[in-house]
Structure 1
């Protein structure tokens, strides 16, 4: 069963969410953190798969995206930090109250693995599974990618944010990104410590607080969005967690391209998705 939900945040924003319920008593609960500016609907098939295998699953849209869109794209509440400090906090609280007896896990895609470290209540997670999650600092990419990244972070994102009030999603394959979120993302990406405050000082308290098991999935053909150095850098943020990096070789699954977004395609239901169940079970 799939139910539409609305989750209020502590600063007056209402997040659109979907709750996927199994036919039997749930084994545990799972929150899915989306990639940058990717709608929760992208993970529907994956969420249904998890629910069919006994898990209560919640997907949601970050503020400014999809069902959580705000008309004013320049709203001061639309920041990247707020995705973790307000949105994820509200989602964790809502899930914990909805199913108090369940153990809750988080499955993250890309930026979803970053915002876990910004949630003040992240210790409620029994485990965190990160698919292509990374530090976005441009220096973690190979030299051939760096000119494009530098142009984006220093020129395109600041300019488009100021002129349009948003940045077109065509630049990275997601939805349009509100100005404040885009500017903060670019600011982080220009800084070697990546997740930083307005003064450029690293934000690490929430990352270091987490002590649960964490899996980081490194996909060998995801060079554009999550190369090895970037994935390892984010893993190091979670210095007190029990972390593990697993490399997915595309050659082991028939040389099929996976890239940054392919993991959640239904064709991997009996391979990559089964591995997630093994981790959770």
Structure 2
């Protein structure tokens, strides 16, 4: 099935922030619609090949840049007031509402990558989703990191982030291969939550005043790679524990089994791993 050309659009949040997004519309009426929740500091273009695949499977799809990232940077990153909480409370709900406008009266799903799957409990409209499927979404807790990665993780979280924020007014993540430059509040919350337990749970009662994690009962699938230094199996279960009433299916992928050199935290969405993508669509198809 061929797809229509991707269409760049603007998503307007409740607080009037405008986000850059891309819509992928199948030539036949969409059977269901999917929003792709990006990882921290990752631009929407990173998910284009995966979104095109989903579209060819008959899904309407939206990708987007969170505020302060990529096409959604207004002015300079240093001036951005974005935080992980505003991504979950403002950006993601607005993207879902936009998806509903473009593809009305179909089931809606989230495919979350890392932060894109961690923050959905902050969405006021999360119950409009039928199910979700995450890859590499975990608590990122430093206490569960493999010893071989622990020093690197501590360096980035507890030295690089505060020093970069102090010197530049934001975190220059791109200098250490960690995606786009990050607004200082995003990086600061990321640091705090990864030093805690349950990731976003660390912010309950302080950074996070309202959430829906305890009322989410929809089906979910959590994919991870066994060569992912961040979203290891302990951290995935640590994140799932934040959803006390949710159905969760966990599948761990071994790169050797699928004849790829590595999957890690990022490669699932690359074309080299496209033979893994039916794991997402096969799961989603159970629910419409």
TM-score when normalising by structure 2: 0.91
Match of 1:132 among 133, 136, 142: 136
Q: Deviations over 1:222-244 (max 9, x none)?
A: 12x21111111111112211111
3-state SS, counterpart of residue 89 of structure 1? helix
CA contact (8 A) 2:112 2:137 kept: yes
Q: 2:194 pairs with 189, 194, 201, which one?
A: 189
Q: Does 1:81 align with 2:85?
A: yes
- One of 156, 160, 163 as aligned partner of 1:156: 160
User: Cα distance, 1:158 vs. partner?
Assistant: 1.3
Matched, 1:20 2:21: no
**Superposed displacement of residue 210, structure 1:** 1.4
1:70 aligns with 2:95: no
Distance in 2, matches of 1:255 and 1:88, equals 32
Which residue in the other structure is 1:206 paired with? 212
**Residue 244 of structure 1 aligns to a residue in which SS?**
strand
Secondary structure, in 3 states, of the residue corresponding to 2:265? coil
Matched, 1:233 2:238: yes
| Superposition deviation, residue 197 in structure 1 | 3.0
1:51 and 2:46 matched = no
Partner of 2:41: 37
Aligned 8 A contact 1:194 1:202 in 2: no
The 8 Å contact of residues 85 and 207 in structure 2, kept in 1 or not, is answered as: no
Q: 1:200 to 1:148 in 2, by over 3 A?
A: farther
8 Å Cα contact 1:204-1:237 kept in structure 2: no
| Structure 1 segments unaligned to the other structure (5+ residues) | none
Q: Distance in 2 between matches of 1:36 and 1:219?
A: 18
> How far apart are 1:90 and its partner, in Å?
0.8
SS in 1 for 2:162: helix
Contact 2:36 2:111 in 1 (8 A): yes
Tell me if structure 1 keeps the 8 A contact 2:25–2:60: yes
Q: Which of residues 217, 226, 230 is equivalent to 2:223?
A: 217
- Contact (CA 8 Å) 1:30, 1:58: kept in 2 or not? yes
| Partner Cα separation in structure 1 for residue 208 and residue 123 of structure 2 | 15
Question: Residues 192 and 200 (structure 1 numbering): CA distance in 2 closer, same or farther, change over 3 Å?
Answer: farther
Partners of 2:205 and 2:25 in 1: CA distance = 43
Equivalent residues, number: 279
Contact 2:8/2:22 (8 A) holds in 1 = yes
Q: Which residue of 2 aligns with 1:99?
A: 103
Instruction: Find the counterpart in structure 2 of residue 179 from structure 1.
Output: 184
Does structure 1 retain, via aligned residues, the 8 Å contact 2:89–2:123? Answer: yes
1:72 Cα offset (Å): 3.6
SS in 1 for 2:155: helix
Q: CA separation in 1, counterparts of 2:95 and 2:154?
A: 34
Q: Note the C-alpha offset of 1:73.
A: 2.6
* Residues 1:109 and 1:126: Cα distance change in structure 2 (over 3 Å): same
Match of 2:175 among 170, 178, 181: 170
Question: Following the alignment from structure 1 to structure 2, what is the Cα–Cα distance between the partners of residues 139 and 213?
Answer: 28
